[in-house]
Amino acid sequence: MLRVWVMKRSEILDNISVVLVETLQPGNIGSAARAMKNMGLHQLKLVSPCSISDEACQKMAVGAYDLVEDAEIYDSLQMALAGESVVVGTTSARGRSNKVRLYAPREIGPVIWEYAMSQNISLVFGPERRGLNDKELALCQYLVSIPASIDFPTLNLSQAVLVLAYEIATVQSANRRPRLQLATESDRKQMFEHMEETLIQIGFLSRSNPGHIMRSIRRLLGEADLTERDIQILRGIMSQMEWYSKEGGKMSPAEVEKP
């Protein structure tokens, strides 16, 4: 009989949530919940899911259906991530720009664990047919791609969840220090909105089509570990730029509006 490594539940694991976006098959939600519980994860968020009361969901979850029953349900991914400090998105390596750093599950496991020692972190999985789109991936600070055969690279949703959860579990006992306390997704969203409007005001962005360059800016800053103070500094810079463009002068540091 296969011997399974049984872990003790940890408070650190409670800081890690799994977010399933627009899952199409009820059975996949159940299977994903089972994979989570196998590895000690308990926080499940569902974004616009299919029916979770479906018999297939309950059957595939087996003894983990309580995770589905307790899951938080949201209308959008942005709402689901509002209180999260760190977001890890899953994606296929195919078609991805070389400018975007893709982590392997073994690389990202220690990163997730270190963040979870002091703050909330989400692992985001897209719909079965399309995965996460570019807009959804833009909300993620880290992107993960699971290596697979070039002849048959598509993994089932629960398999992807299990691979990442396992890699987190393998670093559970390592002696690691917590990472910096990062700003929440809500804070980052407000900062990017402030930045976009300011860059439009000074003529750097076109009001009719600011999205292309803003996506690059989001990717650039999304890879940085931005704390609340970092956000305040960046928004202070935006406030100074706004003042300068309107008044033709500059404020002293003490006069810059604190967002």
pTM surpassing 0.85?
no
Question: Where do runs of H (alpha helix) occur along the chain?
Answer: 26-38, 55-61, 65-69, 77-80, 105-116, 134-137, 157-170, 185-201, 211-222, 228-247
Q: What is the pLDDT of residue 8?
A: 44
Q: What is the pLDDT of residue 258?
A: 47
Q: What is the pLDDT of residue 256?
A: 47
Q: 83 by DSSP, 3-state: which? A: coil
Q: φ and ψ at 141, to 5 degrees?
A: -85, -30
Q: What is the pLDDT of residue 211?
A: 85
- Which residues in the chain come in under a pLDDT of 50? 1-9, 252-253, 256-259
pLDDT tens for 4-55 read 444 344 788 999 999 999 999 999 999 999 999 999 999 999 999 998 988 9
CA 144, CA 115: separation in Å to the nearest integer? Answer: 16
Q: What is the pLDDT of residue 110?
A: 92
Domains present along the chain, CATH in parentheses:
13-170 (3.40.1280.10), 185-255 (1.10.8.590)
Given CA atoms 181, 185, 190, 194 in this order, what sign does their dihedral have? positive
CA 231, CA 235: separation in Å to the nearest integer? Answer: 6
Whole-number Cα distances in Å, 88 to 5, 91, 138: 25, 10, 11
CA 250, CA 241: separation in Å to the nearest integer? Answer: 8
Q: What is the pLDDT of residue 96?
A: 59
